[in-house]
């Protein structure tokens, strides 16, 4: 093997004119010049690898940062927030000494390239974020968006993604309790595979990603490092080596859930024995990210010997080792006298663990390879002081025309027969149909604490067996609404998730988000992004639910065509006793159905407009956050005081969708009447926000009505739980069997 001299810091200083492939690594010319300015010399190949990957959009949030600041600036006063934005995941106080951490991330592009592994490693990544906070992961959720349901490629992507999420999450022993599945042709080449996770810990167990205390050891543990996901760094490698090596590094990372399960157990055991000073998971940008973030968040510097990193492939160059995205690895900072015990625990779980460096009292991150110093940087310049762009944004020209194209003028059903036909069509449409084919591939029983799982309005997990304390999570997003009006669309996503949490009886506490958009280089997309962030920040302030962290996924577009702007919002809530939870399913015949909130003629962006007319235009439903807050308070009180036995939020598909779901899940029908002031069509299909339908036992009717009346929430009696069909008086009757076939057979038929 012949090789050119190692590109050390010394060598770089002595050879200022060597051209480095910064453009191929994705850096812009001014960004490269800034690296040279920071270092006062040209970077070494290894340094260039680190800067290029850490300054990428994915790691640095360079296009979104200026907008995301609003989440901090407009953050509501909240005692619940223990750790805010900027850490691996936010941490929320849920009472009784418990803290909960949760986060949603995207793994969109990898899941399009290789659906199974892309989705699987997405679950793995978010779970490591949770462990890195010191928490035991207790549940996962998966908001998913695919192209048209009948498109041949959807048949490739969806089953792979679902199998990947199941294959990984099931093997980790994490119940999958929520999420969404949405089809829209705008996601054809850009499926959105978002993954969320929740973890639980005691307050005193919160851990942070920082390396402090000179002399403390840096331990890399978990899987060996291989050539996964380092397409870019191979360019550097070919500059360094001139002999043949594996010609193409795999761009697809492959997950090993068994390894991750061991990583969870040994990390939690190390936490329990208080062996860990700081911890960071290795995800995007691998060791580059972990070392620079740990060092820049700590008090000192860090020295790392790359030769000590256990490798799966001995031909890897130092640049490749730094950039490798091999899965199932973590990095811990441990005091010297506790290193042996830490290594012992890793050995107990058959996890490879190696001391690769130590914390120094300087302020530099220094990395050595074969005795030469190949990195000598201020870690803050790598991790936190990347470029920030004020990208131009402009409301697109087509926005006015889109908003003027109101769905309220579309042809409505002219007869009872047509109304009935449209109901069947709606509940059978891919977006409204039962997702059982998908969710039955996820384990929702494991850990023995699942109180509610999909298709409930929110997933709910018990976290204390003695007291019954529990947490709930809901994720929602509606790209159609956001396309019509990104500001209000983002608020509607929040409102829906907030409402979904309250519908099950939990009090909404905090928010995480996954913001999926097209290219930030398109001013129209950037405007959508800016508007959505502004809307979400304003609404979080008004609802008193701080954003604890999240993720931005840009460049979700094919050619010039971007996806619908799709902010996905996760709301976390707490319930004092899970025994008081409210399910979606109708429980008992004879109970009275009440519609809470105001129903207006709001059909733009609705499921009805999509299913019946293939239409998207107009303005989305009005947002009234004070009403959302009132509705939530009523739902929580009613649950706590036993005034309602089932509840379902109204969102896409409107009232009829909610009633059909409650009826099918409970195996009990409903007789509905059109209340005064509404027509049958508006009652069934309107998507006005701030509404829910609840089933009230007759013995509680007076008390329930009094409560709503006293607090000013409109509550309209619309029917009764009864029989084995859903009937709208004077219009139509649909048997539960007929509805079940329509609702449950669509997805299996499409994916067979």
Residues designated as active site: 58, 107
Residue 440 interacts with other proteins (CB under 8 A): yes or no = yes
198-234 b/e with 16+ CB inside 10 Å = b? bbbbeeebbbbbbbbbeebbbbbbbbbbbbbbbebbb
Residue 116 interacts with other proteins (CB under 8 A): yes or no = no
Q: Applying CB under 8 A, which of residues 121, 450, 582, 686 lies at the interface with other proteins?
A: 450
Strands (E), 495-628: 507-516, 547-553, 557-558, 561-562, 566-575, 592-596
Residue 444 interacts with other proteins (CB under 8 A): yes or no = yes
3-state secondary structure 214-280: CCCEEEEEECCECCCCCCCHHHHHHHHECCCCCCCCCCCCCCCHHHHHHHHHHHHHHHHCCCCCEEE
- The residues in 524-583 that bind other proteins, with binding defined as CB under 8 A, are 578-579, 581
The least CB distance from residue 256 to other proteins, in Å, is: 7
Q: Applying CB under 8 A, which of residues 7, 129, 256, 744 lies at the interface with other proteins?
A: 256
Contact yes or no for 592/644 (Cβ under 8 A): no
Q: Applying CB under 8 A, which of residues 449, 528, 545, 746 lies at the interface with other proteins?
A: 449
Residue 441 interacts with other proteins (CB under 8 A): yes or no = yes
Q: Is 621 buried (19+), middle (13-18) or exposed (0-12) by CB count in 10 A?
A: buried
Between the CA of residue 20 and those of 44, 85, 688, what are the distances in Å? 9, 35, 57
Helix, strand counts (H, E) of the chain: 27, 28
Residue 737 interacts with other proteins (CB under 8 A): yes or no = no
Window of 45-53, 257-265, 297-305, 632-640 that interacts with other proteins by CB under 8 A: 257-265
Window of 49-57, 163-171, 281-289, 517-525 that interacts with other proteins by CB under 8 A: 163-171
Q: CA 601 to CA 232: how far, in whole Å? A: 53
Q: Enter the tokens of residue 742.
A: 């329509």
Binding-site sequence positions for Mg(2+): 105, 129, 281, 551
Contact yes or no for 94/582 (Cβ under 8 A): no
Q: Which helix (H) or strand (E) holds 687?
A: none
Q: Are strands 301-305 and 365-369 parallel, antiparallel or unpaired?
A: parallel
Residue 167 interacts with other proteins (CB under 8 A): yes or no = yes
> Closest CB to other proteins among 82 and 268?
268
Window of 165-173, 327-335, 423-431, 617-625 that interacts with other proteins by CB under 8 A: 165-173
Residue 258 interacts with other proteins (CB under 8 A): yes or no = yes
Window of 164-172, 272-280, 336-344, 503-511 that interacts with other proteins by CB under 8 A: 164-172
Binding-site sequence positions for ATP: 61, 103, 513, 550
Q: Applying CB under 8 A, which of residues 67, 103, 462, 499 lies at the interface with other proteins?
A: 462
- The residues in 382-411 that bind other proteins, with binding defined as CB under 8 A, are none
Window of 121-129, 326-334, 436-444, 561-569 that interacts with other proteins by CB under 8 A: 436-444
The least CB distance from residue 348 to other proteins, in Å, is: 8
Residue 166 interacts with other proteins (CB under 8 A): yes or no = yes
Q: Applying CB under 8 A, which of residues 9, 451, 696, 734 lies at the interface with other proteins?
A: 451
The least CB distance from residue 622 to other proteins, in Å, is: 37
DSSP state of 690: S
CB-CB neighbours of 686 under 10 Å: 23
Phi-psi region of 310 (alpha: psi -120 to 50; beta: other; left: phi over 0): beta
Q: CA 54 to CA 48: how far, in whole Å? A: 10
Residue 741 interacts with other proteins (CB under 8 A): yes or no = no
Q: Applying CB under 8 A, which of residues 38, 66, 82, 163 lies at the interface with other proteins?
A: 163
> Closest CB to other proteins among 260 and 476?
260
Concatenating the DSSP letter of every residue in 317-329 gives: -HHHHHH---SSE
Q: Applying CB under 8 A, which of residues 36, 66, 171, 214 lies at the interface with other proteins?
A: 171
Q: Enter the tokens of residue 750.
A: 């499409």
The least CB distance from residue 166 to other proteins, in Å, is: 5
Residue 178 interacts with other proteins (CB under 8 A): yes or no = no
Q: Enter the tokens of residue 259.
A: 């390894």
> Closest CB to other proteins among 224 and 425?
224
Q: Are strands 90-95 and 470-476 parallel, antiparallel or unpaired?
A: unpaired
DSSP state of 642: T
> Closest CB to other proteins among 296 and 449?
449
Residue 173 interacts with other proteins (CB under 8 A): yes or no = yes
Residue 349 interacts with other proteins (CB under 8 A): yes or no = yes
Q: Is the peptide bond before 455 cis (omega within 30 degrees of 0)?
A: yes
> Closest CB to other proteins among 154 and 259?
259
The least CB distance from residue 351 to other proteins, in Å, is: 10
Window of 26-34, 258-266, 297-305, 518-526 that interacts with other proteins by CB under 8 A: 258-266
Residue 160 interacts with other proteins (CB under 8 A): yes or no = no
Residue 446 interacts with other proteins (CB under 8 A): yes or no = yes
The least CB distance from residue 442 to other proteins, in Å, is: 6
- The residues in 678-707 that bind other proteins, with binding defined as CB under 8 A, are none
Q: Are strands 136-146 and 192-202 parallel, antiparallel or unpaired?
A: antiparallel
Residue 272 interacts with other proteins (CB under 8 A): yes or no = no
CB-CB neighbours of 675 under 10 Å: 13
Tell me the sheet residues that pair with 100: 92, 200
H-type alpha helices, 464-563: 479-484, 486-503, 523-543
Q: Which helix (H) or strand (E) holds 112?
A: helix 108-113
Binding-site sequence positions: 61, 103, 105-109, 128-129, 253, 281, 325-327, 513, 550-551, 553
The least CB distance from residue 167 to other proteins, in Å, is: 7
Applying CB under 8 A, the residues found at the interface with other proteins are 163, 166-167, 170-173, 256-259, 261-262, 349-350, 439-451, 462, 465, 578-579, 581
């Amino acid at each position: 093997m012949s090789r050119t001299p190692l590109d050390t810091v010394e060598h770089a200083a002595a050879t200022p004119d060597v051209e480095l492939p910064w453009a191929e690594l994705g850096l812009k010319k001014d960004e490269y010049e800034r690296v040279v300015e920071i270092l006062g010399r040209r970077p070494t190949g290894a340094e260039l690898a680190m800067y290029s990957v850490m300054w990428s959009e994915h790691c640095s949030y360079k296009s979104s940062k200026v907008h995301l600041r609003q989440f901090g600036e407009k953050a509501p006063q909240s005692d619940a927030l223990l750790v805010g934005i900027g850490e691996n995941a936010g941490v929320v106080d849920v009472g009784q000494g418990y803290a909960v951490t949760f986060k949603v991330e995207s793994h969109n592009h990898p899941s399009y390239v290789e659906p199974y592994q892309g989705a699987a490693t997405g679950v793995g990544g978010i779970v490591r974020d949770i462990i890195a906070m010191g928490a035991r992961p207790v549940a996962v959720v998966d908001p998913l968006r695919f192209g048209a349901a009948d498109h041949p490629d959807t048949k490739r992507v969806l089953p792979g993604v679902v199998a990947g999420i199941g294959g990984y999450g099931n093997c980790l022993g994490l119940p999958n309790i929520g999420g969404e599945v949405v089809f829209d042709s705008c996601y054809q080449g850009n499926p959105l595979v978002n993954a969320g996770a929740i973890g639980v810990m005691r307050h005193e167990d919160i851990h942070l990603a920082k390396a402090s205390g000179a002399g403390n050891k840096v331990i890399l543990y978990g899987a060996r490092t291989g050539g996964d996901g380092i397409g870019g760094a191979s360019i550097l490698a070919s500059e360094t080596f001139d002999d043949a090596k594996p010609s193409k590094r795999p761009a697809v990372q492959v997950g090993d859930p068994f390894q991750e399960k061991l990583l969870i157990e040994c990390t939690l055991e190390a936490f329990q024995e208080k062996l860990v000073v700081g911890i960071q998971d290795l995800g995007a940008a691998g060791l580059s990210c972990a070392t620079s973030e740990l060092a820049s968040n700590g008090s000192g510097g860090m020295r790392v010997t790359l030769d000590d990193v256990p490798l799966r492939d001995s031909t890897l160059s130092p640049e490749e080792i730094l950039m490798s995205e091999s899965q199932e690895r973590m990095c811990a900072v441990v005091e010297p006298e506790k290193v042996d015990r830490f290594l012992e625990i890793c050995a107990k779980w058959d996890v490879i663990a190696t001391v690769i460096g130590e914390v120094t009292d300087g302020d530099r991150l220094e990395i050595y390879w074969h005795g030469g110093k190949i990195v000598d940087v201020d870690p803050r310049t790598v991790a936190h002081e990347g470029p920030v762009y004020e990208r131009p944004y402009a409301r697109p020209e087509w926005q006015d025309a889109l908003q003027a194209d109101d769905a309220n003028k579309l042809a409505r059903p002219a007869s009872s027969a047509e109304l009935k036909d449209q109901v069947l069509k709606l509940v059978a449409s891919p977006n409204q149909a039962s997702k059982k084919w998908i969710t039955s591939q996820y384990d929702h029983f494991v850990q023995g604490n699942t109180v509610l799982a999909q298709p409930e309005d929110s997933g709910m997990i018990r976290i204390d067996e003695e007291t019954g304390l529990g947490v709930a999570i809901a994720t929602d997003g509606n790209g159609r609404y956001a396309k019509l009006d990104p500001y209000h669309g983002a608020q509607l996503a929040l409102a829906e998730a907030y409402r979904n949490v309250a519908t099950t009886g939990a009090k909404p506490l905090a928010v995480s988000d996954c913001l999926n958009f097209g290219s930030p280089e398109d001013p129209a997309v950037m405007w959508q992004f800016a508007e959505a962030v502004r809307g979400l920040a304003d609404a979080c302030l008004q609802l008193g639910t701080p954003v604890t962290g999240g993720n931005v996924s840009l460049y979700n577009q094919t050619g010039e065509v971007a996806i619908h702007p799709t902010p996905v919002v996760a709301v976390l809530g707490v319930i004092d006793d899970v025994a008081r939870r409210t399910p979606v399913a109708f429980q008992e015949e004879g109970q009275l159905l009440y519609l809470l909130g105001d129903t207006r003629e709001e059909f733009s962006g609705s499921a009805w407009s999509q299913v019946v007319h293939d239409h998207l235009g107009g303005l989305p439903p009005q947002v009234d956050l004070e009403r959302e807050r009132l509705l939530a308070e009523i739902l929580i009180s009613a649950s706590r005081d036993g005034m309602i036995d089932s509840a379902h939020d109204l969102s896409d598909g409107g009232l009829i969708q909610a009633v059909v779901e409650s009826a099918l899940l409970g195996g009990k029908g409903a007789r509905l009447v059109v209340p005064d002031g509404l027509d049958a069509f508006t009652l069934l299909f309107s998507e006005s926000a701030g509404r829910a339908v609840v089933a009230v036992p007759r013995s509680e009717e007076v008390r329930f009505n009094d409560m709503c009346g006293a607090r000013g929430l409109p509550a309209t009696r619309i029917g009764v739980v009864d029989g084995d069909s859903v009937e709208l008086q004077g219009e139509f009757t649909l048997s539960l069997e007929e509805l079940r076939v329509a609702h449950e057979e669509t997805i299996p038929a499409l994916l067979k």
